[in-house]
């Protein structure tokens, strides 16, 4: 297993918080030397920008950002987040050359990716940054995080718009893929609301154009990653935010560019991916979860970093006198904070991922009670991520980016497909894993008994063959939702359920189908459960006594945060949860 990190991050230099995290044993710090403004229109960084002109860099500002951290924690190691978005001066200079629509990467990422002048200037900046950081900080740098696009998460908000360079690139893409020359689809065709799926007979150009825009972004990411790899020692890691198929909805799933994540996940130049915990299932009782298909990144040997950016009652929502993020609803008190953070730490620990505590604009982790929890969670994380532990999941949620290209992003059901189904599975009372369809012939599926396909819209002969070999003929149960190629023809396979609407898929239905397939249901209540061969986590909003059915007999069951011995030589136990609560249990065999 490559190095993984338990780290601290903030947009602002929160020195007192850095000191608290140092005392809690956290020595890895993310430094974001940003040159650009955030989505609210204020500077990301409290320091002067580093990139000041073509070939002109303020490395004193870059050094101060790292040296200020070292002044607080002399043992600090760095994750260096490199801002590849367009500074305002570069946008103005490229606009003066008639490239206004193809120079602003924050909102028009795919357009900027089609602009060779933007790519050239940004590559030169990337090279200068890495060479300086390597020369000055050497082995203190553990990883480079390449950031660009909306909120620096490689999301394209151009909604299909194209300038001259992107139109030329579309023409070249058609030629390279053996397609007839086609114009860029008109905005009114891209924006019209209608059926959930695009009609291949009349809208195949839109489907192809969605893939093309994603390819523009993927090609650019891969180019930057390869350049970075050529400049750093092999032990340095490269990461980025990418692959949010389980999160993006409402005009973002198709057009953000993230559907092409499989191309990045096989790249030898990228070591890890990052996402925040889902924004759609954060309140008490929610199951959180990664925005990316965890099974896919595991298949390709990639690490993951779970961003814990959840709002606590003490977080600073006021960026300046005129801008605030008060609309982001925090957990309401310390009890919710404890339950919520334990849930997030347990999710990362059980999946053996990196994580960072994202302090945003400060205040998130201020209370001593919160920092005590961070310190305890760090000790648990250190112990249980030290050696590989196999997942206990027997349920697989299968996403399909190729099918997703056919979706009409403006349809009301978009959020119900992957995001909504994941959130319902969060209440299954049993763990589950997320795979991409193309993973199925490549992974060991022997422990999986129930498959959920919420968005398999494109059923090619090759895909049907995969289904027959790995699902139908393998005797596995499966649920298909809104599957045009399968809904009326489940091929007589036992345990295959097909439903027409997402409203029919409830946590109770999923629980019943999983139980019928022989899945071990740990809790009859609709609560989130995470589990590997040694650890089990359960989160509950309501609390009370919950009976837990284990997948075998265990010599000892110990709750790790309290140190309480819960059961001995038991295949089940009853535990009294607080309201709300998250508990992390060690399951010992011998």
Give the pLDDT mean for 198-212.
95
Q: How far apart are CA 523 and CA 427, in angstroms?
A: 10
Q: Give the pLDDT score at 2.
A: 65
Mean pLDDT of the region 255-270:
98
Burial class (CB in 10 A: 0-12, 13-18, 19+), 167: middle
Q: Can you tell me the distance from the alpha carbon of 361 to that of 314, in angstroms, rounded to the nearest whole number?
A: 11
**Residue-level pLDDT at 437:** 98
pLDDT 10s digits, 20-50? 999 999 999 999 999 999 988 999 999 999 9
Structure tokens at 504: 């029919």
Q: Rounded to 10 degrees, what is the CA torsion of 256, 261, 267, 273?
A: 80
Query: Would strands 477-481 and 77-83 be described as parallel, antiparallel, or unpaired?
Result: unpaired
Whole-angstrom distance, CA of residue 127 vs CA of residue 144: 12
**Residue appearing with tokens 């960072």:** 356
Burial of 315 per CB tally in 10 Å (0-12, 13-18, 19+): buried
The 10s digit of each residue's pLDDT in 477-505 is 999 998 766 654 555 567 889 898 999 99
Beta bridge partners of 7: 28, 356
pLDDT tens track for 373-414: 999 999 999 999 999 999 999 999 999 999 999 999 889 999
The answer, yes or no, to whether residue 1 has pLDDT greater than 60, is: no
**C-beta of residue 451 within 8 angstroms of C-beta of residue 400:** no
The 10s digit of each residue's pLDDT in 84-112 is 999 999 999 988 777 677 889 999 999 99
**Which tens digit of pLDDT belongs to each residue from 509-555?**
999 999 999 999 999 999 999 999 999 999 999 999 999 999 999 99
Checking if the pLDDT of 452 tops 80, the result is yes
Structural domains in the chain, CATH included, are 6-384 (3.20.20.80), 390-590 (2.60.40.1180)
List Cβ neighbours of 587 (8 Å cut-off, separation of 6 or more): 533, 534, 535, 536, 550, 554, 556, 557
State the angle between helix axes of 15-23 and 368-384 in degrees (0 to 180), rounded to the nearest 10: 50
* Per-residue pLDDT at 301 exceeds 50: yes
In this predicted model, what pLDDT tens digit does every residue of 131-171 receive, in sequence order?
999 999 999 999 999 999 999 999 999 999 999 999 999 99
Rounded-to-10 torsion of CA 345, 351, 357, 360? -120
pTM of the model: 0.96
Reading the block at residue 25, the tokens are: 């044993």
496-510: string of b/e by CB count within 10 Å (b at 16+)? bbbbeebeebebeeb
Structure-block tokens of residue 328: 């982001």
User: What pLDDT sits at residue 485?
Assistant: 63
The pairing of strands 28-33 and 77-83 is: parallel
243-257, 309-323, 383-397: least confidently modelled range: 309-323
Distances (CA, A) of 541 to 285, 308, 365, 368: 4, 19, 22, 23
What is the distance between the alpha carbons of residues 419 and 24, in angstroms, rounded to a whole number?
Answer: 34
């Amino acid at each position: 297993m490559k190095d993984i990190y338990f780290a601290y991050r903030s947009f602002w230099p929160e020195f007192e918080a850095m000191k608290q995290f140092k005392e809690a044993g956290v020595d890895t710090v993310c430094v974001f030397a940003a040159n650009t403004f955030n989505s609210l229109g204020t500077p990301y960084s409290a320091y002067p920008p580093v990139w000041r002109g073509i070939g002109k860099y303020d490395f004193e500002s870059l050094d101060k950002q790292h040296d200020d951290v070292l002044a607080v924690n002399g043992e600090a190691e760095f994750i260096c987040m490199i801002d590849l978005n367009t500074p305002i001066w570069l946008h103005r200079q490229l606009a003066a050359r008639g490239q206004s629509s193809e120079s602003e990467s924050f909102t028009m990422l795919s357009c900027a990716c089609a602009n060779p002048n933007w790519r050239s200037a940004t590559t030169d900046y990337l090279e200068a940054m890495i060479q300086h950081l390597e020369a000055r900080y050497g082995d203190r740098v553990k990883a480079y995080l390449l950031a660009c696009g909306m909120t620096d998460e490689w999301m394209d908000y151009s909604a299909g718009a194209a300038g001259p360079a992107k139109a030329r690139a579309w023409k070249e893409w058609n030629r390279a893929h053996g397609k007839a020359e086609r114009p860029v689809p008109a905005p009114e065709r891209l924006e019209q609301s209608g059926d959930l799926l695009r009609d291949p007979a009349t809208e195949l150009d839109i489907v192809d154009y969605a893939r093309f825009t994603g390819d523009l972004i993927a090609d650019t990411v891969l180019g930057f990653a390869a350049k970075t790899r050529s400049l750093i020692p092999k032990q340095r890691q490269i990461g980025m935010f990418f692959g949010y198929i389980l999160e993006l909805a409402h005009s973002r799933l198709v057009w953000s560019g993230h559907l092409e994540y499989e191309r990045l996940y096989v790249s030898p130049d990228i070591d890890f991916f990052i996402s925040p915990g889902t924004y759609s299932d954060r309140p008490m009782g929610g199951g959180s979860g990664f925005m990316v298909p965890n099974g896919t990144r595991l298949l390709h040997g990639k690490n993951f970093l779970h961003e814990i950016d959840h709002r606590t009652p003490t977080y600073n929502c006021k960026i300046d006198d005129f801008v605030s993020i008060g609309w982001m609803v925090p957990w309401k008190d310390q009890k919710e904070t404890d339950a919520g953070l334990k849930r997030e730490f347990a999710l990362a620990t059980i999946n053996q991922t990196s994580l960072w505590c994202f302090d945003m604009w400060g205040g998130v982790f201020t209370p001593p009670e919160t920092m005590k929890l961070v310190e305890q969670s760090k000790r648990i994380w250190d112990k249980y991520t030290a050696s590989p532990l196999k997942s206990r999941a027997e349920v697989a949620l299968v996403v399909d980016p190729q099918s997703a290209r056919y979706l009409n992003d403006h349809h009301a059901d978009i959020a119900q497909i992957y995001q909504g189904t994941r959130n319902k599975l969060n209440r299954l009372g049993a763990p589950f894993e997320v795979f991409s369809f193309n993973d199925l012939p490549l992974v060991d599926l022997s422990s999986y008994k129930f498959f959920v396909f919420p968005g398999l819209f494109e059923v090619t002969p090759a895909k049907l063959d995969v289904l027959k070999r790995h699902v139908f003929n393998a005797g596995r149960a499966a649920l298909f939702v809104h599957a045009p190629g399968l809904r009326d023809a489940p091929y007589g396979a036992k345990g295959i359920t097909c439903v027409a609407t997402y409203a029919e898929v409830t946590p109770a239905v999923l629980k019943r189908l999983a139980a019928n397939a022989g899945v071990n249901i740990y809790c009859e209540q609709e609560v989130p459960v995470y589990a590997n061969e040694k650890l089990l986590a359960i989160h509950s909003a309501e609390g009370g006594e919950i009976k837990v059915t284990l997948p075998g007999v265990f010599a000892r069951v110990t709750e790790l945060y309290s140190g309480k011995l819960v059961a001995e030589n038991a295949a089940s136990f009853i535990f009294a949860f607080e309201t709300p609560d998250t508990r992390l249990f060690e399951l010992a065999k011998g």
